[in-house]
Amino acid sequence: MKTLVSLTVNGVAHELYVDTRRSLLDVLRSDLGLTGTHRGCDSGDCGACTVLRNGLPVTACLALAADCGGDEVLTIEGLAVGGSLDPVQQALVEKGAIQCGFCTPGVVMNAVALLRENPRPSELEVRQALAGNLCRCTGYVKIVEAVLSLQEAA
Amino acid sequence: MNQRGSLIGARVPKRDAPQKASGRAVYGHDVRLPGMLHGRILYSKHPHARVLAVDTSRAERLPGVKWVLTSADNPGTRFGYGKDNIPFKGEVVRSLRDEVAGVVAIDEDAAEEALELIRVEYEPLPPVFSAQAALAEGAPLLHPEHGSNLFQGFHYEHGDLGRGESDSAVVVENQFRLPYVSHACMETSVIVANFEPGGRLTLWSTTQIPFLLQRDLAEALDMDGRDIRILQTAIGGAFGRGLDIYPFEPIAALMARKAGAPVRLSFSRREEFQATPVRQPAEVVLRAGADKHGRLTFRDVSALLDIGAYVSWGTVTPLVFIETTASLYQVPHVRFQADCVYTNNPITGAVRGYGNPQSTFYVETAMDRLAEALGMDPVEFRLLNANQPNTVTPQGLVITSCGLKECLEAVAAAADQGSAAGGQGADAALGWAGAVGSTRGGDTTRRRGIGFASTLNVGGGARIYRSDGCGAIVKVDDFGHVCLVTGSTEIGQGSETVLAQIVAETLGVDIAAVSVENSDTDTKPWDVGVHASRTTFIAGNAAHLAALEARAKIFETAAELLQTDPEQLEAHAGQVRVKRDPSRAMPLDQVVRRRHFREGGQMVIGEGWYDPPTKLVDKATYKGNISAAYGFGAQMADVEVDVDTGVVRVLRLVCANDVGRAINPMAVEGQIEGGAQMGLGYALTEELLVSQGRVLNPDFLDYRLFTAADMPRIQTIIVESEDPGGPFGAKGVGEMGGTPTAAAIANAVFDAVGVRITELPMTPERVLAAIEAGERRTRP
């Protein structure tokens, strides 16, 4: 069964006719071509598909697209505008927090949400906020360091 | 950045990081081609069975389904290291991850639905689920043509074991049980295949061995290697997963050929855990001794490895078991035996560290027990027996640079600093985020302990194949832009950046002036693959040679223009200048143009090929120098064990590594920190549970990786020993971060609660059982 969904993604309004079984992740990637949001597990365990839905971080694989009517979704592609990286992205680049990079978009979105909510998080708060973003390359050391470096600037 | 030497040792951010940070990097799952179809694989329902019939008719009629493939579509050739594998299994299935059929459809949902409509008739055969059972008399044979389930045995010895025994003042013996481990790459396996009208095959792949895969696929598909082109996408984690050909790769090509359209085959996470190769489980028995002065006398090791239903690189890990057993520390007498056995369990492959985390665990547990038996300090005991620079081990490893002593001293010093600070500070508060620990008695149920372990790892390539080489081309264009075309592969480890630093340094240009091409087998020169921590050393030397040749051409022209000899010139800050009179200089790009745009003009292209001065290991004795350099490291784990719950909490892990020279310290730290995350998982949480051939925990909820909240403080210490053969003195570091971790933690657990854990991972259940068994022994 299909249904009509109106949602805003990265500031652009879309009217989509989607199968009710499909996830927000699938629609972002397949219908809108926003492949920066990654599918790591499709079960909400790895965090690679984290996007901001009405300002809150969610795993897009667990959100049904049909449930997102009227929502504002921000994906990784909506952060770097005009070619200049968001401070979170820039910090991850400069601190060496990116290796294979597959988890990176989800990490960025979760860190952006954390810093909007809590501009001066402690290290423990950063680690807890990112506990849902699995990374197999970095041991999280430089990811945490990068997010904390933004706290210092705040 | 333009001071001479400043790029070597600089914390240069990864070249591809902005692309990855902004979601613009293209991974295999992101490749979209016009008319692309989607494939799914049907796996066996039985761990061992005869396939009697496959009925695909209902699946073929499902709307959206284009083709259904079975063993009838196999080219008829076998592939793999043991030549025991085929794409679709049509006669016998030997594991639950055996491919029986495949569907090509307009989308993944239709393909998935079609899988359920394929009817397969099986006749179950008696299975074997352990190496012991597979070796028992009358056990069903996995591959009857092989004559036995024992695929391969490895026997090694040096010295005289009897003499080692008689020289010993103390002898220790233990049995070890080592688990299945998955790579758990964040990106699941994926491949896109497309045949061009002329019959040439292009693959978008995450392989770590593009050139070997060309050859292997040619064999599997009964094609000519020249008709196969491999394009490597951004790779979302590798860690050894992509070191061999696996059936899904020829299957994707067969699907694309049949469909006459590009086909993408991507794994679900469940499929990834069930069908990709894993680290093989092993049972190890070890005896080791030392004399009354604290010198090692002997090691005697026997190991039984379950390789699964087909042969892949899991089978050859005993080569690394041998290296650690025979050559980590100075041991005069060593005997080693390993048997690799077929079972109806999952296929096993290469996982980061490749036999080293396993063998370091048993060797370093024995080191700790020997020190304890002798009443020696564990660090002093290790220092007394440590490998030394400019020595040859009895195995024939030629050790040039060696910073093991410095690594041990560094982690020992860090341990002292930690205890001086009281230990229970902010670092400790970060461990495991307060989520665990005893609920009664406050801190009285928690015991602190520290433990040490070292590691030896190939650091200058590893001659597993006839060639351990890598090629490179450096082109300097009329604008002064430098392009390095390297055979090596970027898997996230930062090779692009390190190689660009080497080239930029050699040509005296800014790092931003160098781009790296490394993803197309049509373009890039041959390389054996990204494995064995070899890329900085091997590909680095090749890139350096290519840059030197390009520089020689530039100097040749500049010498004419500046009226001097080429030997008098240097490249610096984008200029070519006279060393003794830097005012006589020309911009490098101007020199290139002057060389180009003249009568008989020439371009600046340098070529490099580096194959290290090493030998294939001797097939009978397993002796010989397989690497041109060896990396060393030591770790100190500071743990807290809750004696009520068995929970082990690592508070701090200090990692010192001898990397020769850190061309990019930030990347070196990243390798060690990431390796430590895998080592922590191997020690404490990661175990692929396999029962009756079935993976019981094929998801991240039940296969536990360390998260940001679980990680202890990781302190990395870089030791630079300046290897004479490495580019600018560098050695490999890719795998050492996780190899000694489990051993260091197990030794710390002993220090804390006085029990030796010899089965990994050290789950609370196992630790608690060991503590309770220890209490029963001491209080009968």
Give me the pLDDT at residue B434, please: 40
Among A90, A102, A139, the residue with its CB nearest the CB of B237 is A102
Residue B37 has pLDDT above 80, yes or no: yes
**Is B349 part of any domain?**
no
Closest residue by Cα to residue B13 from A106, A125, A48, A85: A85
Specify whether B583 is located in the same domain as B705. Answer: no
Considering the domain architecture, whether residues B423 and B532 belong to the same structural domain is answered as: no
| Domain finish residue from B554, B585, B610 | B610
Contacts of B397 (CB under 8 A, 6+ apart): B323, B327, B625, B626, B627, B630
State residue B443's pLDDT score. Answer: 56
Q: Domain end: A26, A58, A78, which one?
A: A78
In-domain check, residue B381:
no
For the four alpha carbons of B619, B620, B623 and B624, in that order, the dihedral sign comes to negative
In a domain, B150, yes or no: no
Interface probe with B: pick from A2, A86, A137, most Cβ of B within 10 Å:
A137
Residue A92's domain is classified under what CATH number? 1.10.150.120
SS3 label, residue B368:
helix
- The answer to whether residues B524 and B593 touch, using CB atoms and an 8 Å cutoff, is no
Residue-averaged pLDDT of chain B: 95
Burial of B447 (0-12, 13-18, 19+ CB in 10 A): middle
**Which residue carries 């650091």 as its tokens?**
B459
B701 CB near a chain A CB, below 8 Å?
Answer: yes
Model confidence at B637, pLDDT cuts 50, 70, 90, reads: very high
How many other C-beta atoms are found inside a 10 Å radius of the C-beta of residue B174? 15
| Alpha carbons B125 and B440: distance in angstroms, whole number | 52
> Has residue B390 got a pLDDT over 60?
yes
Kindly state the percentage of chain B with pLDDT values over 70.
Answer: 96
- Is B47 in the same domain as B74? yes
Half-sphere exposure of residue B780: CA atoms within 13 angstroms, side-chain side: 1
Same-domain check for residues B474 and B446: no
> DSSP state, B138?
T
Place of tokens 């049904």: A64
Mean pLDDT of B630-646: 97
- Residue that wins the pLDDT comparison between B416 and B726: B726
**Mean pLDDT of the region B12-40:** 98
pLDDT at residue A83 in the model: 77
Amino acid, single-letter form, for residue B370: L
CATH of residue B109: 3.90.1170.50
Q: What is the DSSP string of B154-190?
A: EEEEES-HHHHHHT-SEEEEEEEEE--B----SSPPE
- The answer to the question of residue B289 being in a domain is no
Give the full edge-to-edge strand order of the sheet including B99-105.
Answer: B65-69, B99-105, B37-43, B263-266, B190-195, B201-205, B228-232
Which has the higher per-residue pLDDT, B2 or B449?
Answer: B449
DSSP state of B698: -
Task: Kindly report the nearest CA distance between residue A70 and chain B, in angstroms.
Answer: 24
A80 contacts on B by Cβ (under 8 Å): 21-22
* Same-domain status, B492 and B584: yes
**Best of A9, A23, A81, A99 to mutate (most B CBs within 10 Å, chain B):** A99
For B81, B98, B146, B311, B645, the CA distances from B140, given in Å and listed in that order, are 22, 18, 12, 17, 42
Q: How does pLDDT run across B457-512, given as a tens digit for each residue?
A: 999 999 999 999 999 999 999 999 999 999 999 999 999 999 999 999 999 999 99
Pairing of strands B470-476, B150-158: unpaired
Q: Is the pLDDT of residue B527 over 60?
A: yes
Q: Which of residues 98-117 of A touch B (CB under 8 A)?
A: 98-105, 108
Tell me the pairing of strands B630-642 and B446-458: antiparallel
Together in a domain, A70 and A111: no
Residue A153: exposure state from Cβ atoms within 10 A (0-12, 13-18, ≥19): exposed
Question: With 90 as the cut, is the pLDDT of residue B635 above it?
Answer: yes
Nearest to A96 among B14, B186, B678 (CB): B14
Predicted confidence (pLDDT) per residue in B667-694, tens digit: 999 999 999 999 999 999 999 999 999 9
- Among B15, B19, B22, B699, pick the best mutation site for testing chain A contact (most A Cβ within 10 A): B22
Chain B, 488-507: which have a CB under 8 Å from a chain A CB? 491-494
Question: Of B551, B580, B610, at which residue does a domain stop?
Answer: B610
Between CA B527 and CA B704 the distance in angstroms is 34
pLDDT at B441: 47
CATH assignment at residue B567? 3.30.365.10
Closest alpha carbon to B61 in B17, B119, B141, B16: B119
For residue B516, report the phi and psi dihedrals to the nearest 5 degrees: -125, 130
- B278 and B351 Cβ atoms separated by less than 8 Å: yes
Q: Are residues A62 and A120 in the same domain?
A: no
Asked if the Cβ–Cβ distance from B674 to A101 is below 8 Å, we say: no
| DSSP class per residue in B11-30 | -PPPTTHHHHHTT---BGGG
Name beta bridge partners: A56. A53
Q: How many angstroms separate the CA of residue A69 from the nearest CA in chain B? A: 23
Tell me the mean pLDDT in the region B718-732: 97
What the block records as the tokens of B178 is 């080592």
Collect the ranges in chain A with pLDDT lower than 50.
154
Question: Are residues A72 and A127 located together in one domain of the fold?
Answer: no
Out of B584, B610, B636, a domain closes at B610
Report the chain B residue with the minimal C-alpha distance to residue A33. Answer: B30
**Residue B42 is assigned to a structural domain of this protein:** yes
Tell me the three state secondary structure of residue B73.
helix
Residues from chain B contacting residue A38 (CB–CB below 8 Å) = 27, 29, 186-187, 236
Q: Verify that A8 and A73 share a domain, yes or no.
A: yes
Element of type H or E holding B39: strand B37-43
pLDDT of residue A153: 54
Q: Does B255 lie at the interface with A, CB-CB under 8 angstroms?
A: no
Kindly report the backbone phi and psi dihedral angles of residue B585, in degrees, each rounded to the nearest multiple of 5, phi listed first.
-145, 160
Q: Using an 8 Å Cβ cutoff, are B311 and B344 in contact?
A: no
The pLDDT score that the predictor gives to residue B779 is 59
Q: State which residues form the domain around A42.
A: 2-78
Q: Chain B closest CA to A3's CA: distance in Å?
A: 18
Give the domain-ending residue among A25, A60, A78: A78
Q: Given B433, B491, B705, which is nearest A100 (Cβ)?
A: B491
How many angstroms separate the Cα of B306 from the Cα of each of B240, B284, B311, B340? 18, 12, 10, 6
Residues 6+ positions from B198 with CB-CB distance below 8 Å: none
Of A79, A127, A139, which is closest to B709 when you measure between CB atoms? A127
Cβ atoms of B529 and B485 closer than 8 Å: no
B187 contacts on A by Cβ (under 8 Å): 38, 40, 100, 102
Residue B103 lies in a domain: yes
B604 and B655 assigned to the same domain? no
Average pLDDT over residues B440-467: 89
Statement to judge: residues B193 and B83 lie in one domain: yes
- The verdict on A107 and A140 lying in the same domain is yes
For residue B255, being part of any structural domain is answered with yes
Closest CA to B397 of B634, B167, B158: B158
Domain containing residue B501: 17-24+469-610
pLDDT at A152: 59
Interface predicted TM-score of the whole assembly (ipTM), two decimals: 0.98
Integer CA distances (angstroms), B42 to A85, B116, B117, B310, B439, in order: 43, 8, 10, 18, 47
Candidates B754, B657, B647; CA nearest to B714 is B657
Do B639 and B766 have their domain in common?
yes
Which residue of B22, B236, B268 is in closest CB contact with A42?
Answer: B268
Which CATH number do you get for residue A35? 3.10.20.30
Judged by a CB distance cut-off of 8 A, whether residue A84 touches chain B is no
Ranges of beta strands (E only) in B56-95 are 65-69, 92-93
Torsion, Cα A40 A44 A48 A54, to 10 degrees, reads 140
pLDDT at residue B549, rounded to an integer: 98
Write the pLDDT tens digit of every residue in B393-439.
999 999 999 999 999 999 999 998 875 444 444 444 454 334 344 44
Pinpoint the alpha helices (H) of B597-682.
665-680
Distances (CA, A) of B277 to B186, B242, B247, B471, B529: 15, 9, 11, 29, 18
| Same domain? B585 vs B657 | no
Cis previous bond, B761, omega within 30: yes
Interface test with A, best of B186, B264, B699 (most A CBs within 10 A): B186
Whole-number pLDDT of residue B429 = 45
**Structural domain contains residue B142:** no
Residues B205-235 pLDDT 10s: 999 999 999 999 999 999 999 999 999 999 9
User: How far, rounded to the nearest angstrom, does the alpha carbon of residue B493 sit from its chain's CA centroid?
Assistant: 11
Please state whether B378 falls in left (phi above 0), alpha (psi between -120 and 50) or beta. Answer: alpha
CB-neighbour burial class of residue A152 (10 A; exposed 0-12, middle 13-18, buried 19+)? exposed
For residues B515 and B422, membership in a common domain is answered with: no
Extract the tokens encoding B67. Answer: 């083709």
HSE-up of residue B552 (Cα within 13 Å, Cβ side): 9
Number of domains in chain B: 3
Do B684 and B759 share a domain, yes or no?
yes
Instruction: Assess whether pLDDT exceeds 70 at residue B579.
Output: yes
Q: Which residues of A touch B32 (CB under 8 A)?
A: 33
Chain B CB contacts of A139 below 8 Å: 673-677, 706, 711, 714, 737
DSSP state of B711: P
Task: Of B346, B203, B188, B191, give the one whose Cα is nearest residue B267.
Answer: B188
| A67 shares its domain with A7 | yes
What is the per-residue pLDDT for B5? 57
Calpha distance B214→B60 (Å, rounded): 31
Shared domain check, B579 and B529: yes
Q: How far apart are CA B757 and CA B746, in angstroms?
A: 6
pLDDT value at residue B776: 78
Domain count, chain A: 2
Report the 10 Å Cβ neighbour count for B5: 9
**Cα–Cα dist B680/B708, whole Å:** 12
Partner-chain residue, chosen from B188, B491, B708, that has the shortest CB–CB distance to A127: B708
Across the interface, do A131 and B20 touch by the CB < 8 Å criterion? Answer: no
Q: What stretches of B659-760 adopt beta strand conformation (E)?
A: 690-691, 694-695, 713-719
- pLDDT bin (cut points 50, 70, 90) of residue B558 is very high
Q: How far apart are the C-alpha atoms of B70 and A108, rounded to whole Å?
A: 43
The last residue of a domain, from among A44, A78, A112: A78
Same domain, A71 and A138: no
